Amino acid sequence: MGRIHLQTRAGRVYGDVAQAGDLGWNTGPTVIEDTSPEKKPARHGMFFSVWKRQGDGSWRVALDLGADTPAAVAPLNAPFKTSYRASGRTPDKQPAASVNVEEEIAGLLKVEREFLATAKASSVGQAYQSRLSDDARVHRPSVMPVVGKDALQGWLAQQTMTLSGEPIKADVSRCRGRRRRRSTIWRRRSTPASRTGSSTRPIAISTVCARPSGSRSC
């Protein structure tokens, strides 16, 4: 096998971490450059990673995904942005309350299954309508990220296909707080709503909920 002449660079541009400091996420642009004499055009994309703090204090990647984009989304050295917004309330000086992890995971899986049930019975757009936050970022292969309330509403209107799936893994932050993170992974099969009996394909999907209220960022 010949030598692969590729170089990948990435920039961490957007992200956040749970108040407990045990679960976080990053996303940002990637560039794959051809270092061979042919110098093929660079390929652009976006990565998405969920990180989990280990017992020894180190951070390890729990989930890593990526999607190609037709052009650069942001410079690799763009300033980092967080999704966290201060609530304006007086900070609580008491230690954050721990959660019952099993109960929280069960509750998260319940929300996911309700989402998938709506997506299967109605459409993907209908399922996301009540779950997608106004500041969500939607990443799909070979298209630019969908960002901003107006763009998200336009994207939702186009999601007329149905979807079926089942969660295969879930995790939550270990304390309650304004920035609690929840993450799940599930496999789905999508079918255009206007077609029946068409083939479906499994894909791995990750979602991270930025708010305990149920809004959904993707």
Per-residue pLDDT in tens (0 to 9) along the chain, 218 residues: 455 567 788 877 889 988 888 999 999 999 999 888 888 899 999 999 999 999 999 999 999 999 999 999 999 999 998 866 554 444 444 555 677 889 999 999 999 999 999 999 999 999 999 889 888 889 999 999 999 999 999 999 999 999 999 888 888 888 765 444 455 554 545 555 443 333 333 333 334 333 333 334 44
61 and 138 assigned to the same domain: no
Q: Taking a C-beta distance cutoff of 8 angstroms, is the pair 174, 150 a contact?
A: no
Task: Tell me whether residue 94 is in a domain.
Answer: no
Domain limits at 110?
Answer: 101-209
Q: What is residue 209's three-state secondary structure?
A: strand
Token digits of residue 114: 């309700």
108 and 50 assigned to the same domain: no
The predicted pLDDT at position 66 comes to: 92
107 and 204 assigned to the same domain: yes
Task: Tell me whether residue 215 is in a domain.
Answer: no
The predicted pLDDT at position 27 comes to: 92
CATH (domain of 116): 3.10.450.50
Among the candidates 81, 110, 139, a domain finishes at 81
Token digits of residue 210: 């930025």
Task: Tell me whether residue 138 is in a domain.
Answer: yes
Stated pTM of the model: 0.72
69 and 136 assigned to the same domain: no
109 and 159 assigned to the same domain: yes
Count of domains forming the chain: 2
23 and 118 assigned to the same domain: no
Task: Tell me whether residue 216 is in a domain.
Answer: no
70 and 105 assigned to the same domain: no
Task: Tell me whether residue 95 is in a domain.
Answer: no
Residue 154: C-alpha distances to residues 62, 148, 151 (Å): 32, 10, 5
CA–CA dist 194, 42 (Å, integer): 37
Task: Tell me whether residue 194 is in a domain.
Answer: yes
CA–CA dist 113, 128 (Å, integer): 13
Task: Tell me whether residue 164 is in a domain.
Answer: yes
Task: Tell me whether residue 171 is in a domain.
Answer: yes
